[in-house]
Amino acid sequence: MRRKAISMLVLLFVLLAIIQVPVAGATELSDGDYTLNFTLYKDNTNESSVMNDYVDLTSGKLRVEDGKNYVSFVLRQSAQTTSFKTEKNGVLVEAAVISSDTTNNTRTVEFEVGDLSARLNAWVKIYWQVTPEFLYDHEYDVDLGFSNIIPVP
C-alpha cells in the first residue's frame, strides 16, 4: 500500500512539472483601448521617482493593435523635458509625440511595451533654466511599472 502511495505522489509531481503555468501578466490582451496605471521608479529600485511629479498619472492609456502594446501618457513641463526614451530590443528609443499643447506646456508620448508585467527601462533628459542664475541640466535612468489595466467601454 505504501509503495502505491509513493508511486502516486511521484506521478503527481511529474505531472505538475510537465504542466506549464502561465506567467502572471503574460495573458495576451485583445486589440482595443484600455486605461492603465503607471509609476516611474528610481532606476532598479522600488522608490518612486521625482519624475512622477512631471507626468499626469491619470493619463495612462494602452492601445493594443495587432497584438502589440502601445502605452501613452502626458508629460508635464514639456519644454523642459527635452527627451524621453524607453527601451526597445535593448536600445533606448525616443518616445513618439502624439500630441502637444504649448499653452499648457504638455505633450503626450507613446511607446511600445513588450511585457506589461515587467518593469520597462526608460531615460529622461531635463534642461530647465529655472532662474537666470540656475540651470537644471540633468538626465536620469528610470523604470516604468504598469498595473490595473481596464478595457475602455
pLDDT tens column, 53-82: 999 999 999 999 999 999 999 999 999 999
Read off the C-alpha cell for 134. Answer: 540656475
The more confidently predicted of residues 50 and 27 is 50
Domain ranges across the chain: 29-151
Work out the mean pLDDT of the chain and round it to a whole number.
Answer: 87
Its pTM stands at 0.80
CA dist list (Å): 134 to 60, 69, 81, 120 = 32, 40, 16, 32
Lowest mean pLDDT of 16-20, 59-63, 76-80, 84-88, name the range: 16-20
**Overall fold of domain 29-151:** Immunoglobulin-like (2.60.40)
The whole-number pLDDT of residue 3 equals 60
Read off the C-alpha cell for 89. Answer: 530590443
Alpha carbon distance 55, 63 (integer Å): 19
Average pLDDT over residues 14-30: 47
Read off the C-alpha cell for 12. Answer: 503527481
C-alpha closest to that of 120 among 36, 25, 63, 41: 41
Q: Starting from the edge strand earliest in sequence, which strands make up the sheet with 55-65, in order?
A: 91-94, 81-88, 120-131, 134-151, 32-42, 55-65, 68-76, 106-113, 96-101
pLDDT tens column, 117-144: 999 999 999 999 999 999 999 999 999 9
